[in-house]
Every structure is written in C-alpha cells, then in structure tokens.
Chain A
Amino acid sequence: MKPVPFDYIRPSTVAEACALLAQDAEARVIAGGQSLVPMLAMRLARPTQLVDILRLPELTGIKQDGDSIVVGATTRQAAAERDALIAAKLPLLAQVFPWVGHPATRRRGTIGGSVAHADPSAEIPLVALTLGADIVLRDVKGETSIKTSEFFLGPMVTAIPHGSLLTAIRFPVWPQQWIGTGFHEVNARHSDFAFVCAAAQVALDDAGRCTACAVGIGGLGEYPVRLDDAAQALVGSDLGDKAIADAVEVAMGKLDIWADLHASADYRRRTGGVLARRALSDARLAASARRQ
C-alpha cells in the first residue's frame, strides 16, 4: 500500500459531500481517480479522507442550458467523447479526447476531475479556458461559479476554496453558423503529457471574415494561457497565414515560459507559436469547409 492512510467516505448527496468537505480542510474529493490516485501513490497528496462523489447521480450528465452546454463534474471522459451533443455543439472539446490519457483511463477519468486536477499541459482544462467556460462550485452555503480565466492559479492549483466541490463545467456554445476548430500537440508518446498543446476556435461570416476567435496554449508555464490579444487582432481579418503568424508572434513574445527536463523555454516558445498557428489555420479551414 503506497498512499498514506486515509478514511474513505461515500456520501449519498451533494449536500452531504459539501458538509464533509467543510468539516475537514485536508479532505480530498475523489471521482474517477485517474489523476489523484497516482498523486496518492507518490504521496504528493496526503489527505485525511477521500470523499467519493463518483456515484452521485446529479453530478453526471451532459445537457444544454440556453446558450451553454453544462457537463456534470463526474461525466466520464469516454462518455463525453461519444456524446452527440458535445460533437455538435462543442467541437473543440470533442476534438481533444483522443489526446486525453488512454482508452482505459478515459473510461474512468472524469471531465471535472481533469479540470480540478489542473495539470498545466492537460487538454480539457485548455479547452475550458480557450472557450471561456465557467466552473460551477457548490459548498454548504450554495452554488457559485468562477470564470476559467480566474480558475487556474498554478500547476495542480486552482481557485476552488476549501469546502467547495466542483459540480459542473458550463461551456459556452458559439451562436455563429460557420465555426471551425483546430488542435495540435507535441509530446514524447501519443497520449503522454503534452510538452506543448494549442487549441483554437474561429467563426467566419458569409464573406469568409473572422467574426470570433479564441486561441489557447497549454504546457508553456504554470497553467494554460489564452492569447486574447492575438484573438482580438484576428477578428475582422480573413485569417490569412500572415495575419495569423503576426498575431501569434506578438502574443508569444509577452508570455512567461518555463523550462524543465523535457523541453527548454526557447523550444516551448517556438513550438507553442507554431502549434497555435496550425490550430488557427486548421480552424479556418474547417469553418470554410462548413461554409461551402
């Protein structure tokens, strides 16, 4: 047995789970366990108790709510990967699943778990940030939400306060008709952690002009980043290669980028820029293909 000793509790309601978390600041939430259990095995996490939310029915499922898709925290990655609503309304999220772990880990791993774990190179947090999703939290007092732009604070560190439970992620659905997405990643082996990954979504009008644009990069630093200046510069353009390259280059110059034994900061800056350009140009091509 590798983890430290802990108590295991499986509450039968969300309210009960929140009460348990409120009582013990060292309690940790477990759902699919595909990220937390390795942390436990290496004793990087040393909780006093595990509060298992996996079987709480209200935390699972994918539904449309107005102009958003709400994905319950314990929705399995494999279920989301096969979901028709996500394929139709959140093509960028649908696109990244083959890169998230392996088939066997996606069957147990959850959407909320990946976001709450906040690995800087993880694909689902990158998509949530790029699309500007809201993170829905519950505690004993009620429900609140945090914007993804304020959610990721560092490697495996989020703005979830003690006593709160991540219950859902609310992804905005773009209203435009012609939407395209792109995603690229560089890693040592397929499905391993990304050195760098980039995601983009664009919308085109009838004349082929960009009316909305979002682009984000993971793996560059302590958390994924969104290149809002680049996106803004590209709105109104025809998303030509030159416009994309110029906008991305300016944005990349402003970022703090880290180095580790896998890749230097220079490598990450260069690769991040290339992957962001490719993601944007793939997104343009996909949107154009739909328009024609």
Chain B
Amino acid sequence: MKVELSVNGETRTADVEPRKTLLDCLRDDFNLTGSHAGCEHGVCGACTVLLDGEPARSCLMFAVQADGYEITTIEGIAPAPGELSVIQDAFCEMHGMQCGYCTPGMVLTATALLRDKPQPTRQEIVEAISGNICRCTGYGQIVEAIALAAERLALANAPKAHKR
C-alpha cells in the first residue's frame, strides 16, 4: 500500500506492506535510524516518536495507520544539522546515557514533558519516562538531565523548546 506520511515537517511517501510497523518504515524506507527497535512489542520505549507532539510507540502502529499525523523523530529535534536541542545537550552534560539505545526515546519523551510541564517535579519526570526502559544508567542521570534541561529552558535567553 502507498502511504504518505508527514515526518519532521516533510512529506514522505513509501510503498509498504500493511504489516510494516511505522518503526520499520521510518528506519527502512526513510533511513531515519534514530528510532530504535528494542523489544518490538511495546514494552521498552526505544522506538518512541512524537505523533502530533505526543509520545507514542512506533512499533505499536503500522505505517498505513500513520497518515494525517505530524510525526517527529529524534532526527527532527535539533534546531539545525550539527546542533543539539537543549534537552539533548543536557543529556550529554549530565551523562544521561551510556550505550545510547534508549536515548532517542528518552529525549523525545522529555521533549513532550517539558513542553507541557516546563517545571516538572522529580516525580513527574519519573512518571513521564516510566514507559522508557534504560538498562545502563539506573535512570539517575537521565532524571537529572531532564531537570537540568528544564532549568535551562526556563532561563530568559534559552532557545525555544520544540513546538508541537
């Protein structure tokens, strides 16, 4: 089936089998390999993308279901090629990653969280990332990275957070 998807602000087309997940379509057809395939049945959150700004698991929907949404992948988060968003930068600075496998999902989840709740409590951060599994860090540095990003985004001179 032909699909026309809006990914990171661009219209992309592909010819896919109905059983191809959005995740596989992003990775195989659009070469957007920042969305990671982890468990591929909705448990780990490594494949998280934003659908109309809301985190969703791209392994739990098929590409043929994804038309009409504004899809944002990790490749669409940085303000320009070679740059990092404030949240990505905070993950680097706080060592919010080790192997990096969960990181795109974590960053996207944090991006939506900080857009909706610019000054989250620690509990709200933990709840927001509860659907994203990290097997390296023990989560401490990830929570700290999101808290640091929140602090920086609140500053008057901060670059604007990712918009819906």
- A54–B131 contact, CB under 8 A? no
* B160 adjacent to chain A (CB < 8 Å): no
Interface size class of A (residues with CB under 8 A): 20 to 34
- The answer for the CA separation of A134 and B59 in the assembled complex, in Å, is 32
Expressed in whole angstroms, the minimum distance between the Cβ of A138 and any Cβ of chain B is 22
- B60–A34 contact, CB under 8 A? yes
- A1–B24 contact, CB under 8 A? yes
* B130 adjacent to chain A (CB < 8 Å): yes
* A102 adjacent to chain B (CB < 8 Å): yes
Interface string of A107-144 (1 = CB under 8 A from B): 11000000000000000000000000000000000000
- A5–B17 contact, CB under 8 A? yes
* A252 adjacent to chain B (CB < 8 Å): no
- A2–B131 contact, CB under 8 A? no
Q: A1-B24, A34-B42 are in contact. Are A108 and B19 (CB under 8 A)?
A: no
Interface size of B in residues (CB-CB distance below 8 Å): 28
Expressed in whole angstroms, the minimum distance between the Cβ of A8 and any Cβ of chain B is 4
Q: A8-B18, A34-B42, A41-B41 are in contact. Are A104 and B55 (CB under 8 A)?
A: yes
- The answer for the CA separation of A50 and B64 in the assembled complex, in Å, is 11
Most chain B CB atoms below 10 A, which of A3, A7, A104, A107? A104
Q: Across the two chains, which residue of chain B brings its CB closest to A8? A: B18
- A8–B1 contact, CB under 8 A? yes
Interface string of A136-167 (1 = CB under 8 A from B): 00000000000000000000000000000000
A-B contact count (CB 8 A): 80
Q: A7-B18, A104-B45 are in contact. Are A33 and B60 (CB under 8 A)?
A: yes
* A103 adjacent to chain B (CB < 8 Å): yes
- A104–B109 contact, CB under 8 A? yes
**Contact pick for B130, options A42, A54, A102, A108, CB 8 Å:** A102
Q: A1-B17, A8-B1, A33-B60 are in contact. Are A103 and B130 (CB under 8 A)?
A: yes
* B48 adjacent to chain A (CB < 8 Å): yes
Most chain A CB atoms below 10 A, which of B18, B24, B109, B127? B18
Q: Across the two chains, which residue of chain A brings its CB closest to B57? A: A104
* A212 adjacent to chain B (CB < 8 Å): no
- Chain B residues within 8 Å of A191, by CB: 130-131
Q: A38-B41, A41-B41 are in contact. Are A104 and B56 (CB under 8 A)?
A: yes
- B131–A107 contact, CB under 8 A? no
* A271 adjacent to chain B (CB < 8 Å): no
Q: A33-B60, A54-B65 are in contact. Are A103 and B128 (CB under 8 A)?
A: yes
A-B CB proximity, top 6 nearest = A102-B131, A8-B18, A38-B41, A104-B55, A37-B60, A3-B19
9 A-B contacts, Cβ less than 8 Å apart? A1-B19, A1-B24, A2-B19, A3-B19, A37-B62, A41-B41, A104-B109, A108-B57, A191-B131
Q: A6-B18, A104-B57, A191-B131 are in contact. List 18 more A-B contacts (CB 8 A).
A: A1-B21, A3-B19, A6-B19, A7-B18, A8-B62, A34-B60, A38-B41, A38-B60, A41-B59, A102-B131, A103-B55, A104-B48, A104-B54, A104-B109, A105-B42, A108-B57, A190-B130, A191-B130
Chain A residues packing against B (C-beta within 8 Å): 1-8, 30, 33-34, 37-38, 40-42, 50, 52, 54, 101-105, 107-108, 190-191
Chain B residues packing against A (C-beta within 8 Å): 1, 17-21, 24, 40-42, 45, 48, 51, 54-57, 59-62, 64-65, 109, 127-128, 130-131
